[in-house]
Amino acid sequence: MAVRIEYLLVLVFAILLVAVFGFTPTSRAAISGKIEKEVQFENFELFNLREQDSSQKIHATNAVKYREYIKFDNVHVSDDLGHTVLSDRARYENDSLFMNQNVKVSRDDGLDFSTQSISYDLNKKIITTLTPFVLEVNQSIIRGDKLVFEVEKNIISASNVDASIWFDGQK
């Protein structure tokens, strides 16, 4: 008994049809690559060294690198001009730090201010807050709604200010 080639081709074609139409693909949810962690660090330090500008150091207890940004926990930023910025949380993106939760900015001459969130442009060296702040220098206390601090020029401008100024000669 001889098997004709036509019967064999019909059998292969039938198996192919069953394989193609018999199995249904399963759908899976798409995952965006922007959300996924690339790498995570503990006790992270980032040094921003520039030849003609002041250098800066960013220290965080935890840092998570994503594709577009880095998130920090318990951040401490300092520079060689004597400025220090502390925050519970921060996000580094496009040469700017966006810090929130218990932000404290201080200078080595005794100027301190605290607020809930700031943006710190590391290239222009400008700290901006749009949330209410409390600034203390010597024994003077200044409250306001918006503050812009040009770090290298030591210029502070604020809006809607309520101040109690203390002079050295007061008793």
For residues 67-84, average pLDDT: 88
Cα–Cα dist 58/63, whole Å:
11
Whole-number pLDDT of residue 9: 86
Q: 32-46: per-residue pLDDT in tens?
A: 555 677 888 899 888
Domains located in the chain, CATH noted: 39-164 (2.60.450.10)
Tell me the two tokens of residue 77.
Answer: 């930023």
Query: Does the pLDDT of residue 27 top 90, yes or no?
Result: no
Query: Does the pLDDT of residue 171 top 60, yes or no?
Result: no
Whole-number pLDDT of residue 44: 85
Task: Give the closest residue to 127 by CA, choosing from 97, 107, 170, 82.
Answer: 97
Most confident of 15-19, 23-27, 52-56: 15-19
Tell me the two tokens of residue 131.
Answer: 């949330």
- The pTM (predicted TM-score) of the whole model is 0.71
Residue 51 DSSP class: S
For residues 93-107, average pLDDT: 90
In order of 13, 99, 143, 165, 166, the CA distances from 170 in angstroms are 101, 37, 21, 10, 7
Whole-number pLDDT of residue 31: 54
Q: 101-110: per-residue pLDDT in tens?
A: 889 999 888 8
Whole-number pLDDT of residue 134: 92
Round the average pLDDT of the chain to a whole number and report it.
83
Q: Please say whether the beta carbons of 62 and 40 come within 8 A.
A: yes
For residues 102-130, average pLDDT: 90
Residue 129 binned pLDDT confidence (cut-offs 50, 70, 90): very high
